[in-house]
């Protein structure tokens, strides 16, 4: 196979400012139990035997990362992130391409600390069914409504084939790099790696993942994440 899914590089976009959290520091550095959200996320990835390297994209003015014990891990590198999440991912892909162009990228939000190895294994194992790449996702459970700008319901959306896109998202580094770069150059709105692949005509697979793999976005998510982290 042209790309080698046996070599996996994790990419962690961690250059956000957490504006929706409204905390006194970027949300990835908020405490969750015994360590920060980012430290938890890095521990999950650094401890997985199939992940050869982890690349973290940091804010240019980040002043917290180097204090983390994980910052000096031999499997970890840091790059400077960009203005949007997609820019940060592309910066990390640029570096990943320079060190292992045949590898696959497992892109995972710093803000999702509750990721389990079982879900990483499911996603990596989906490569035989989805050689084009795949993402973790959670089927929508609730009835879905579309609203107008005034908060009034305009329609009910059929949820039968609706999913919440999660991370990690898993694609060949070279293909993802080129598709993401081209999509951003075309000013396409890219909020996850799959949307860049879709723009290029790829149909990524959906791998059902745990619903507790939440993205810590608002203050109440922090309490939820703490509950999930406390589970064995």
Ligand X SMILES: Nc1ccn([C@@H]2O[C@H](COP(=O)(O)OP(=O)(O)OP(=O)(O)O)[C@@H](O)[C@H]2O)c(=O)n1
Q: Which residues bind ligand LQXTBERG (CB under 6 A)?
A: 85, 109, 165-167, 191-192, 215
- Of 115 and 124, nearer to ligand LQXTBERG (C-beta) is 115
Residue 110 found at the interface with ligand X (CB under 6 A): yes
Residue 201 found at the interface with ligand X (CB under 6 A): no
Q: Which does 25 bind (CB under 5 to 8 A by kind): ligand LQXTBERG, ligand X, none?
A: none
Structure token pair of residue 157: 């959306």
- Of 30 and 127, nearer to ligand X (C-beta) is 30
**Residue 215 in 3-state DSSP?**
coil
The CA distances from residue 52 to 11, 20, 48, 68, 203, in Å, are 11, 33, 9, 20, 26
Residue 18 found at the interface with ligand X (CB under 6 A): yes
Site for ligand X in 39-68 (CB under 6 A): 57
Are 204 and 197 contacting, i.e. CB atoms less than 8 angstroms apart?
yes
Q: Which does 57 bind (CB under 5 to 8 A by kind): ligand X, ligand LQXTBERG, none?
A: ligand X
Residue 159 found at the interface with ligand X (CB under 6 A): no
- Of 50 and 221, nearer to ligand X (C-beta) is 221
**Residue 197 in 3-state DSSP?**
helix
Are 207 and 122 contacting, i.e. CB atoms less than 8 angstroms apart?
yes
Pairing status of strand 76-80 against strand 31-32: unpaired
């Amino acid at each position: 196979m042209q790309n080698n899914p046996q070599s996996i590089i994790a990419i962690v976009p961690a250059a956000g400012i957490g504006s929706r959290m409204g905390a006194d520091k970027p949300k990835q550095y908020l405490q969750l139990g015994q360590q920060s959200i980012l430290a938890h996320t890095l521990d999950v990835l650094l401890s997985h035997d199939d992940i050869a390297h982890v690349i973290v994209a940091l804010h240019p003015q980040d002043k917290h990362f180097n204090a983390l014990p994980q910052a000096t891990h031999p499997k970890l590198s840091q790059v400077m992130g960009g203005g949007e999440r997609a820019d940060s991912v592309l910066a990390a892909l640029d570096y990943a391409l320079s060190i292992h162009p045949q590898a696959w990228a497992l892109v995972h939000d710093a803000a999702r600390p509750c990721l389990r190895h079982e879900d990483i294994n499911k996603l990596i194992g989906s490569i035989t069914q989805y050689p084009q790449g795949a993402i973790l996702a959670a089927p929508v459970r609730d009835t879905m409504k579309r609203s107008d700008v005034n908060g009034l319901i305009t329609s009910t959306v059929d949820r039968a084939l609706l999913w919440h896109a999660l991370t990690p998202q898993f694609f060949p580094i070279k293909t993802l790099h080129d598709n993401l770069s081209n999509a951003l150059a075309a000013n396409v709105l890219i909020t996850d790696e799959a949307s860049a692949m879709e723009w290029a005509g790829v149909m990524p697979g959906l791998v059902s993942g745990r619903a507790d793999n939440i993205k810590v976005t608002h203050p109440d998510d922090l309490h939820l994440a703490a509950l999930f982290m406390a589970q064995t």
